[in-house]
Structure 1
Amino acid sequence: MDEALLSYYNRELAYIRKMGAEFADQHPKIAGRLRLDKDTVEDPHVSRLIESFAFLTARIRHTLDDSFPELTEALMGVLYPDYHAPVPSMSVLNFNLLPELTETRNIDAQTMLITESTAIGQCYYQTVDDTQVLPIRVENSQFNSQPYKAPSLPAAYTAMNGGGQAVLRVTLQAEPGTTLSEISPSSLRFYINGQAQLSGKLYELLLGQVSGIALAKGPDDPDAVFLPASSLQSCGLRDSMAAIPVDGRSSVAHRLLTEYFAFPEKFLFVEIDDLENSWSAFEEHVNLYIYFKQTHPELVQGVSENTLLLGCVPVVNLFEQPIECIPADEIGVEAKLNIDSTHTQCADIHTLKRIYARDQDGKCIDMFPFYGSHRSSDNTDNTIYWNTRRESSHWYNGRISHGVDTYLSFVDSDFKISAPGNDWIINADALCTNRDLPDKLPFGPDQPKLNLMEGGAGLRIKCMTAPTSTIQPLLDDATRWQLITQLSLQHFTGNDGFEVLKETLHLYNFRRAQDTRALIDGISGMKSELTTARVTQQGRAAICQGTKITLELDEHYYSGGGMYLFAEILCEFFSQYCTINTFVQLTVKIKQRPGNDIEWPPRIGKKVLI
């Protein structure tokens, strides 16, 4: 029950008592027997009637006042269909083979995992991306500033990227019964584990300060294999690593902001490619050397064998589940959609994937949403569409539980209540979350325990980060501000671009936590200007016009780490707003470090222009 209804009820009750008392005073012969007073009602039967009437009128007034948010919610559903979906719980899992196993295991994206059973149910998670579980373990990791012992970088590498001021040595060990040359992985994907300050700084060095990479048996190995700095790439920004599904009408830029503010650890993945021909000289172990143009004292003390981990993948609390069947004649004005409780006791709808109707003969008809592009091609007058609305909820299956309920209604082309034939049964398939159940999962040594629903033999699974809480959307009156802000915040190059950027970031900061607000407040300045760049495509040169954006960041707001990752997210965000035949180039100036600017190459979307 909506808490706001109580204030409506109290106002209606006070109004009826006051006006009833005045009416009784003016017409004592007619209303005197009611014995109404503005403070008390002597007749208990009259009191019950008045309270019942006050409750009904309060509901009517509340519904009338809510009619505008229903309109804005519908518009948000058309223009930004994923904005009011819950942000599901996320975490990072580490997969390891049991010691006796020596073959690489491949875990596909969207592989389902389930937590151990509890009194209030189980949580379902799915992997975000494909993952290789190699019979290789990280035996040791060490970060050293000069002087350090490592193979000397070739002159071509130092001439291009400068010398090495520090080196990260990662010792990789093959499991007994196999060798590195037999495993021969084409790439290695690492998750940067640890405290936010340490992992954020290491991520910055790995993505922006690498001079070169080497594979060697030791620092004096004459047969060391060298790789360019370009072999090391970020993984978290790739489309294949998208944790939250988005509708085709939604922007990738908005998805990135949502994921980053909800779970920044999802982006702390790096991958070393082009390793196919690098393993022939190595058997049981190899040292991976990564050379840096800068050093950092905290990394010298903080990096350990648990800092860079293989076999990790983000997981998200999403699973497909059918909706309980609803006879068409029971829908009426609208019906609450209940998730089939056969496999889960606590669930919310994230996205409706399909709604369809079946008759007694088994005939199946797909239903379409009222707000959809297909309506323009409909020529029939009796077509029925479905429409949904979300409502905040604080109760589920007899217990307190915070989430969102979804209500379904059927309308005709004029948005008048309609319904399929009475002999039809309404079915639906949905992508679901476990509501607020992830909040109750324990986190500690070997907790929470997750298992693959299929094919989990021979694997050890460890949860590396505490599962995040499911973030429920702000609905009702908040949708007015959301819609107006979304429609007005589309351009960042005007005189008010700085404020527009901050408002946009706050719009997707669903956690609204102090640490995420600090990230946004740390942007102390912004400047945009038109620029040109020389572009070569298929051997032909041309001049392309674009926008150069310069941001100033205050380092004091990023004492917890993550400034470089935040800037990289913003670079990706701006690049998604490019119009055709234009580019965006981002430069970040650090207020406390003049001259240490971070500059990204010009980009059109995900494509580097130069």
Structure 2
Amino acid sequence: MDPRLLEYYNRELSYLRETGAEFATLHPKIAARLGMQGTDIADPYVERMIEAFSFLSARTQLKIDAEFPRFTQRLLEVVSPNYVTPTPSMAVVKLYPDTQEGDLAKGVTVPRDTAFVSPIPEGENTACQFRSSQDVTLWPLSIEEVRLTAAPPDMPALHRYLPPNIHVAGALRITLRTFGELTFSDLAGPARLPFYLCGEERIASHLFELLHTSAVATLAGEPGHFDGELNVNLQHPVAHEGLEPGQGLLPLAWNVFHGHNLLHEFFACPERFYFFTPTGLSAGLQKVQGNVAEIVILLNRLPPDWLIHQTDAAQFSLFCTPVINLFPRTTTRIEVTHSVTEQHLVVDRTRPLDYEVFSVQEVEGLEAETTRKMIFRPLYHTRNNDEGNHGRYFSLRREPRRSSENARRYGTRPPYTGSEVFLSLVDQHEAPYPENLRHITVTAMVTNRDLPCLIPRNGRDDLTVDAAIPVAGVGLIRPPRPPQPPLAEREMAWRLIRQLSFNYLPLADLDHRTGGQALRDLLNLFIPAHDSPQSRQVRSLPG
């Protein structure tokens, strides 16, 4: 039920009572027969009738204000499906390598889409499941020390390796140590080593900006031995992580601009981007014969004093990846009857509040007479009169879930209520599917609603991994962000549709004020209505 219905109902009821008082003043004889005197109504039946009319009027007004939700939802399902689905909970995890298993000297890659499972939160019945968005290569390495300094004085010959136009004013120096008796020359790499800024957000955001805007070169070697030949990398010394289409958290449709997904993820979980990757390290690390090496990132500006003093090893982590509470699941088998044209999708009928349908991947029906399996495809995703599919489609409708009485009274769960999805089996004309079915099975991408916010966290062994990989523990170094309702709600759906035709090239040609306002309008589409800090960030953009 839409939470605005009560507001609309009270508005309609007030209007009818005020109009009734005016009518009673102008026509007292007729009003007396209706039992109306001013704003008071003596006849309880008339009062009930007015209240019922107010309820129906409020429902109608909601549909009018939504501006044809059936049309906008269907259109956005095709051109940008992530706008009409809830935003799942997102977090960042750290993987702790297990030195007792596997040959870490060659690097062990934990692939994207690896599943991580949480313990069952206290008082609940369901464990949460997460999926990773990036490949993580495990090495037998740990961070021993990190310093942010001025230009390094222990590299007297550095100027010979740098072009004259590059000025070095500062440096980030990261000291690494191998596990056990391994030396860096024993390792088969690494050519690039992603780091995550895991500290306080104020420090992490300043370090992120400093490294990605001021890095001019990287080099690696043995600490205290930078007075000889150096292996300096000038080509893209620091790379971003998480910006490629294959590193996203949200599903990417083939016809959707990837930049919109990045904006969606940024406003849902900005800390998932706090990565930086020094590149061109392998040549320098291979020359280190001991078990301690130093990576130096040269900067063209001097960091502020407060940042220098607060930068240490606790602000950095290795072997991290963003994760999202989104995973495939087959729903409970649904019996099909002719009396019902719309099926309520429930992932688990014993725990309906623990799962929310994000999207439907496949619908499989079983014919009643022959037990023949039939596949239904998404409506509007295939061509009309599709002979290969024989006119079998499904359409979805999503509506907000109503809070239970206990949740409203006792606040037993966080305020996110989520949504419910209803599925209709139709032909190519969106008429009810005519053939007789026994039951259907739905394969969907689902979330655990707000359960991730209840996971106990110590940063070391908060999650377990299903795959056989040499990991001693998986810690949530950034807590799960609360899920959010769909972006395309009510009038916001039309604003999202309008921006789909937005031409990005003229921004550079527009004047300062017009271009700045166009950019702010685009960014505001991805900000939850209640999120004032992010709104202030967008408003602070110049122009």
Q: When the two structures are superposed, what TM-score results if normalisation uses the length of structure 2?
A: 0.82
1:126-137 matches, cutoff 5 A: 126-137=131-142
> Is the contact between residue 358 and residue 426 of structure 1 (CA under 8 Å) also seen in structure 2?
yes
The secondary structure found in structure 2 opposite 1:204 is helix
> Is the contact between residue 216 and residue 223 of structure 1 (CA under 8 Å) also seen in structure 2?
no
Letter in 2 for 1:204: E
1:460-499 matches, cutoff 5 A: 460-483=473-496, 485-487=498-500, 489-491=502-504, 492=507, 493-494=509-510, 496-499=514-517
1:426-441 matches, cutoff 5 A: 426-441=440-455
Q: 1:272 — aligned with what? A: 278
Q: Which has the higher strand share?
A: 1
C-alpha change, 1:43 and 1:345, in structure 2 (3 Å) is closer
Structure 1 residue 110: deviation in Å?
Answer: 0.8
Structure 1 residue 319: deviation in Å?
Answer: 1.0
Structure 1 residue 109: deviation in Å?
Answer: 0.8
Letter in 2 for 1:72: T
> Is the contact between residue 115 and residue 448 of structure 1 (CA under 8 Å) also seen in structure 2?
no
Is 1:363 the counterpart of 2:372? The answer is yes
> Is the contact between residue 331 and residue 409 of structure 1 (CA under 8 Å) also seen in structure 2?
no
Is 1:242 the counterpart of 2:248? The answer is yes
Of the three residues 268, 279, 295, the one matched with 2:302 is 295
C-alpha change, 1:396 and 1:176, in structure 2 (3 Å) is farther
State the Cα deviation string for residues 42-99 of structure 1 (Å, max 9, x = none): 678x977886787567656755765722222222223322212222221111111245
The secondary structure found in structure 1 opposite 2:143 is strand
> Is the contact between residue 106 and residue 131 of structure 1 (CA under 8 Å) also seen in structure 2?
yes
> Is the contact between residue 460 and residue 473 of structure 2 (CA under 8 Å) also seen in structure 1?
no
CA–CA distance in structure 2, aligned partners of residues 84 and 460 of structure 1:
35
Ranked by relative contact order (alpha carbons within 8 Å, sequence separation 6 or more), the top structure is 2
Letter in 1 for 2:92: V
Q: 1:162 — aligned with what? A: 166
Structure 1 residue 116: deviation in Å?
Answer: 1.4
Is 1:510 the counterpart of 2:518? The answer is no
> Is the contact between residue 8 and residue 61 of structure 2 (CA under 8 Å) also seen in structure 1?
yes
Letter in 1 for 2:454: K
The secondary structure found in structure 1 opposite 2:171 is strand
Structure 1 residue 131: deviation in Å?
Answer: 0.6
C-alpha change, 1:480 and 1:317, in structure 2 (3 Å) is closer
> Is the contact between residue 183 and residue 288 of structure 2 (CA under 8 Å) also seen in structure 1?
no
Q: 2:238 — aligned with what? A: 232
1:133-212 matches, cutoff 5 A: 133-146=138-151, 148-160=152-164, 162-186=166-190, 187-212=192-217
Q: 1:117 — aligned with what? A: 120
State the Cα deviation string for residues 389-422 of structure 1 (Å, max 9, x = none): 2212243697455212212123333333x12533
C-alpha change, 1:188 and 1:511, in structure 2 (3 Å) is farther
Q: 2:412 — aligned with what? A: none
Of the three residues 443, 464, 469, the one matched with 1:451 is 464
C-alpha change, 1:300 and 1:53, in structure 2 (3 Å) is closer
Letter in 2 for 1:428: V
CA–CA distance in structure 1, aligned partners of residues 278 and 489 of structure 2:
47
> Is the contact between residue 12 and residue 57 of structure 1 (CA under 8 Å) also seen in structure 2?
no
CA–CA distance in structure 2, aligned partners of residues 240 and 95 of structure 1:
20
Of the three residues 439, 442, 453, the one matched with 1:425 is 439
1:579-594 matches, cutoff 5 A: none
Is 1:2 the counterpart of 2:2? The answer is yes
> Is the contact between residue 191 and residue 312 of structure 1 (CA under 8 Å) also seen in structure 2?
yes
The alignment-based identity, stated in percent, is 23
Q: Which of 506-515 and 1-10 deviates more?
A: 1-10
> Is the contact between residue 353 and residue 430 of structure 1 (CA under 8 Å) also seen in structure 2?
yes
State the Cα deviation string for residues 326-353 of structure 1 (Å, max 9, x = none): 2232672422211135898512122222
Letter in 1 for 2:166: G
C-alpha change, 1:115 and 1:224, in structure 2 (3 Å) is farther
> Is the contact between residue 110 and residue 137 of structure 2 (CA under 8 Å) also seen in structure 1?
yes
> Is the contact between residue 321 and residue 430 of structure 1 (CA under 8 Å) also seen in structure 2?
yes
Structure 1 residue 381: deviation in Å?
Answer: 12
The secondary structure found in structure 2 opposite 1:170 is strand
CA–CA distance in structure 1, aligned partners of residues 134 and 339 of structure 2:
39
CA–CA distance in structure 1, aligned partners of residues 146 and 262 of structure 2:
30
CA–CA distance in structure 2, aligned partners of residues 448 and 39 of structure 1:
64
RMSD, aligned α-carbons: 3.6
The secondary structure found in structure 1 opposite 2:87 is coil
> Is the contact between residue 110 and residue 469 of structure 2 (CA under 8 Å) also seen in structure 1?
no
Q: Which consecutive unaligned segments of at least 5 residues does structure 1 have?
A: 526-610
Is 1:392 the counterpart of 2:397? The answer is no
Q: Tell me how many residue pairs correspond in the alignment.
A: 515
CA–CA distance in structure 1, aligned partners of residues 386 and 81 of structure 2:
22
Q: 1:77 — aligned with what? A: 77
C-alpha change, 1:435 and 1:36, in structure 2 (3 Å) is same
Q: 1:575 — aligned with what? A: none
1:369-380 matches, cutoff 5 A: 369-372=378-381, 374-376=382-384, 378=386
C-alpha change, 1:57 and 1:70, in structure 2 (3 Å) is same
CA–CA distance in structure 2, aligned partners of residues 18 and 132 of structure 1:
73
Letter in 1 for 2:424: S
> Is the contact between residue 489 and residue 500 of structure 1 (CA under 8 Å) also seen in structure 2?
no
CA–CA distance in structure 2, aligned partners of residues 66 and 213 of structure 1:
54
Structure 1 residue 470: deviation in Å?
Answer: 0.8
C-alpha change, 1:501 and 1:462, in structure 2 (3 Å) is same
Q: 1:281 — aligned with what? A: 288
CA–CA distance in structure 1, aligned partners of residues 301 and 352 of structure 2:
51
CA–CA distance in structure 2, aligned partners of residues 264 and 515 of structure 1:
12
CA–CA distance in structure 1, aligned partners of residues 485 and 6 of structure 2:
23
Structure 1 residue 259: deviation in Å?
Answer: 1.4
C-alpha change, 1:224 and 1:138, in structure 2 (3 Å) is farther
Q: Which of 136-145 and 205-214 deviates more?
A: 205-214
State the Cα deviation string for residues 105-146 of structure 1 (Å, max 9, x = none): 421111111111122332211111111121110111111114
CA–CA distance in structure 2, aligned partners of residues 215 and 447 of structure 1:
29
Structure 1 residue 276: deviation in Å?
Answer: 4.0
CA–CA distance in structure 2, aligned partners of residues 115 and 391 of structure 1:
28
Q: 2:518 — aligned with what? A: 500
Structure 1 residue 234: deviation in Å?
Answer: 1.5
The secondary structure found in structure 1 opposite 2:162 is helix
CA–CA distance in structure 2, aligned partners of residues 376 and 140 of structure 1:
63
Q: Which of 124-133 and 222-231 deviates more?
A: 222-231
The secondary structure found in structure 2 opposite 1:235 is coil
Is 1:354 the counterpart of 2:323? The answer is no
Structure 1 residue 432: deviation in Å?
Answer: 1.5
The secondary structure found in structure 2 opposite 1:82 is helix
CA–CA distance in structure 2, aligned partners of residues 25 and 430 of structure 1:
62
Structure 1 residue 224: deviation in Å?
Answer: 5.3
Q: 1:530 — aligned with what? A: none
State the Cα deviation string for residues 13-39 of structure 1 (Å, max 9, x = none): 9869969x99997699xxx8x988884
The secondary structure found in structure 1 opposite 2:437 is coil
Is 1:103 the counterpart of 2:103? The answer is yes
